[in-house]
């Protein structure tokens, strides 16, 4: 075989090669640098990408694909980090009927496929998915160890739904807007009774002197009665019992409230900054007597309303505190629990969404606002926006009954696959 090549010393050399006999001579030639003009004719892209980042006492190595992964998947039961304590099973994460992706209409909004309005599949998308490894004592060969592994992506977006989120470990954040609607005006023109109704009487803490406190209008909770225990408001020697009064009042709106869950094996997130005591004061200050079955007319009682309003406000605060298991002094700082079982839909769009496993607590991956717990953890930032708007009597009723303390401030549906995204798509009907 005759070949020629140009080495970096210049000139041309001719070789007469027999099979591989000339190979060592060719390999011994030095590499020549390429000029910019030559390099411009070469294009390439790596399928795999890697990086290293140091945060605190950990080094994080990331290995990923320069690709986009679109998922349409169903998981009947996601159970991670299961342990057995001798009597019961438990796990770090338990989620039933998990669906990734949904059927969407022409506006790319998730819909029920049985309605016939679906025109496309909206996938759960992972842009440049990767595995990130947390290494401790990276500089020491003797003590170096892998303490965490995270599955994530440069950005994760798309619909995810859970039929029943029984247990959660990691970090979850969201926002909530809670509106305690006006009554006796606006959207709810019917007035409401102050004390409890005949179907729930006797009223809380009712005494014989108050004739069990059931309102004389025959109005029941949760729609037409605040459900307070009976009392009276007096001006000079003139008194009116609460059970003889129907009222109207303005609503209260709390917007963009932070919702946070952080910990291991939790089932409730906490809604913050509701300021319940202030909300009660706002409602009481707008109170107006619409009807009176007492010897005092509604007009006269409205004249002594400042006395009545303060009394009603104190009653509401005391009974709300009892229902929530706290004190009136702590109502403004009280964080309302929200059952993650009520979380059925999440529209993800985050570079931080991820699933990880740690052999020890305290591993804080790059970008995370908190460290992850030992075991399996999910990082779910800005998971959903909760919007609840109900008549004030509904909130009061659920608080006083203890439902709010258990995480159901407005009796939201619990589990059972309700409100799960439908991702049954295509001729094979993927479900």
Helix (H, G, I), strand (E, B) or coil at 242: helix
Residue by residue, DSSP assigns 133-188 as EEEESTT-TTT-EEEEEEEEEEEEEEEEEEEEEEEEEEEEEEEEEEEEE-BSBTTB
At how many degrees (to 10) do helices 392-400 and 305-324 cross?
50
- Pair 200, 149 in one domain: no
- Pair 16, 154 in one domain: no
- Pair 69, 110 in one domain: yes
pLDDT at 64: 93
Q: Is the pLDDT of residue 294 over 50?
A: yes
How many domains are contained in the chain?
A: 3
C-alpha count within 13 angstroms, C-beta hemisphere, residue 214: 11
pLDDT (tens digit per residue) in 194-225: 998 998 877 776 555 666 889 999 999 999 99
Q: Which range marks the domain in which residue 294 is found?
A: 183-248+275-334
Judge whether 38 lies within some domain: no
3-state DSSP helix/strand/coil percent for the chain, to nearest 5?
15, 45, 40
- Pair 193, 243 in one domain: yes
Judge whether 203 lies within some domain: yes
Q: Are strands 225-228 and 192-195 parallel, antiparallel or unpaired?
A: parallel
pLDDT (tens digit per residue) in 119-167: 888 999 999 999 999 999 998 989 999 999 999 999 999 999 888 889 9
- Pair 193, 162 in one domain: no
Residue by residue, DSSP assigns 371-409 as PBPSEEEEEETT--EEEEEEEHHHHHHHHHTTTTTTT-T
- As a whole number, mean pLDDT of residues 398-408 equals 82
Mean pLDDT of the chain: 83
- Pair 165, 92 in one domain: yes
pLDDT at 208: 59
For the entire predicted model, the pTM comes to 0.78
Residue 417: which pLDDT band, with cuts at 50, 70 and 90?
A: very low
Residue indicated by tokens 């996601």: 78
Judge whether 143 lies within some domain: yes
Q: Is the pLDDT of residue 420 over 80?
A: no
The first and second tokens of residue 193, run together, are: 């009774």
Beta bridge partners of 77: 96
The first and second tokens of residue 390, run together, are: 């109900």
Judge whether 396 lies within some domain: no
Instruction: Name every residue whose Cβ is closer than 8 Å to that of residue 175 and which is 6 or more positions away in sequence.
Output: 256, 257, 258, 259, 382, 385, 386
Residue 410: which pLDDT band, with cuts at 50, 70 and 90?
A: low
CB atoms closer than 10 angstroms to residue 218? 12
The first and second tokens of residue 95, run together, are: 């989620």
pLDDT at 17: 44
pLDDT at 418: 47
Q: What percent of the chain has pLDDT above 90? A: 46
Instruction: Name every residue whose Cβ is closer than 8 Å to that of residue 133 and which is 6 or more positions away in sequence.
Output: 60, 61, 62, 63, 146, 148, 149, 150
- Pair 7, 109 in one domain: no
Answer left, alpha or beta for residue 106, where phi above 0 means left and psi between -120 and 50 means alpha: alpha
> Between the CA of residue 156 and those of 176, 330, 355, what are the distances in Å?
22, 39, 12
- As a whole number, mean pLDDT of residues 257-275 equals 94
pLDDT at 251: 95
At how many degrees (to 10) do helices 276-285 and 305-324 cross?
150
- Pair 56, 139 in one domain: yes
The first and second tokens of residue 251, run together, are: 């609503």
pLDDT at 29: 54
Q: CA-to-CA distance for 195 and 35, rounded, in angstroms?
A: 89
Q: What is the CA radius of gyration of the chain?
A: 33
- Pair 19, 60 in one domain: no
The DSSP output letter for 430 is B
Judge whether 306 lies within some domain: yes
pLDDT (tens digit per residue) in 345-384: 888 999 999 999 999 999 999 999 999 999 999 999 988 8
Answer left, alpha or beta for residue 227, where phi above 0 means left and psi between -120 and 50 means alpha: left
C-alpha count within 13 angstroms, C-beta hemisphere, residue 7: 12
- As a whole number, mean pLDDT of residues 254-260 equals 94
Asked if residues 299 and 324 have their Cβ atoms less than 8 Å apart, the reply is no
- Pair 109, 237 in one domain: no
Q: CA-to-CA distance for 67 and 212, rounded, in angstroms?
A: 70
- Pair 211, 315 in one domain: yes
pLDDT (tens digit per residue) in 108-120: 988 887 777 888 8
Residue 404: which pLDDT band, with cuts at 50, 70 and 90?
A: confident
Instruction: Name every residue whose Cβ is closer than 8 Å to that of residue 10 and which is 6 or more positions away in sequence.
Output: none
Judge whether 147 lies within some domain: yes
The DSSP output letter for 229 is P
Nearest to 227 by CA among 329, 304, 315, 331: 315
- Pair 59, 78 in one domain: yes
**Burial level of 31, CB count in 10 A (0-12/13-18/19+)?**
exposed
The first and second tokens of residue 141, run together, are: 């060969």
Judge whether 163 lies within some domain: yes
């Amino acid at each position: 075989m005759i070949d020629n090549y140009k080495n970096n010393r210049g000139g041309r050399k001719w070789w007469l090669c027999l099979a591989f006999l000339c190979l060592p001579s060719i390999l011994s030639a030095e590499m020549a640098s390429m000029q910019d003009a030559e390099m411009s004719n070469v294009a390439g892209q790596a399928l795999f990408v890697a990086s290293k980042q140091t945060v605190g006492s950990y080094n994080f190595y990331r290995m990923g694909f320069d690709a986009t992964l679109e998922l349409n998947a169903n998981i009947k039961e996601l159970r991670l980090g299961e342990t057995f304590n001798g009597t019961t099973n438990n796990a770090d994460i338990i989620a039933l009927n998990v669906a990734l992706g949904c059927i969407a209409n022409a506006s790319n909004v998730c819909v029920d496929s049985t309605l016939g309005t679906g025109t496309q599949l909206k996938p759960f998308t992972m842009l440049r998915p990767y595995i990130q490894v947390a290494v401790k004592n990276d500089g020491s060969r003797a003590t170096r160890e892998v303490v965490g592994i995270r599955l994530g992506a440069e950005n994760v977006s798309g619909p995810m739904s859970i039929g029943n989120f029984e247990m959660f470990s990691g970090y979850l954040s969201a926002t909530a807007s809670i509106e305690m609607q006006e009554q006796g005006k606006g959207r709810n023109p019917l007035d409401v009774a102050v004390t409890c109704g005949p179907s729930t009487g006797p009223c809380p803490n009712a005494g014989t002197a108050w004739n069990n406190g059931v309102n004389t209008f025959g109005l029941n909770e949760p729609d037409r009665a605040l459900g307070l225990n009976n009392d009276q408001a007096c001006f000079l020697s003139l008194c009116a019992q609460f059970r003889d009064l129907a009222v109207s009042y303005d609503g209260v709106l709390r917007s963009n409230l932070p919702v946070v869950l952080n910990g291991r094996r939790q089932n409730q997130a906490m809604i913050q900054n509701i300021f319940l005591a202030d909300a009660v004061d706002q409602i009481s200050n707008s109170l107006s007597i619409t009807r009176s079955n007492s010897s005092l007319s509604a007009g006269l009682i409205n004249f002594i309303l400042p006395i009545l309003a303060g009394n009603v406000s104190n009653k509401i605060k005391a009974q709300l505190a009892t229902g929530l298991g706290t004190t009136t002094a702590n109502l403004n700082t009280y964080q309302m629990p929200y059952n993650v079982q009520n979380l059925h839909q999440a529209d993800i769009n985050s570079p931080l969404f991820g699933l990880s496993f740690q052999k020890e607590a305290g591993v804080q991956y790059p970008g995370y606002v908190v460290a992850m717990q030992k075991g399996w953890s999910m990082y779910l930032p800005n998971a959903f926006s909760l919007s609840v708007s109900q008549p004030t009597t509904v909130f009061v009723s659920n608080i006083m009954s203890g439902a709010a303390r258990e995480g159901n401030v407005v009796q939201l549906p619990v589990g059972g696959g309700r409100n799960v995204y439908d991702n049954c798509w295509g001729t094979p009907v993927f479900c």
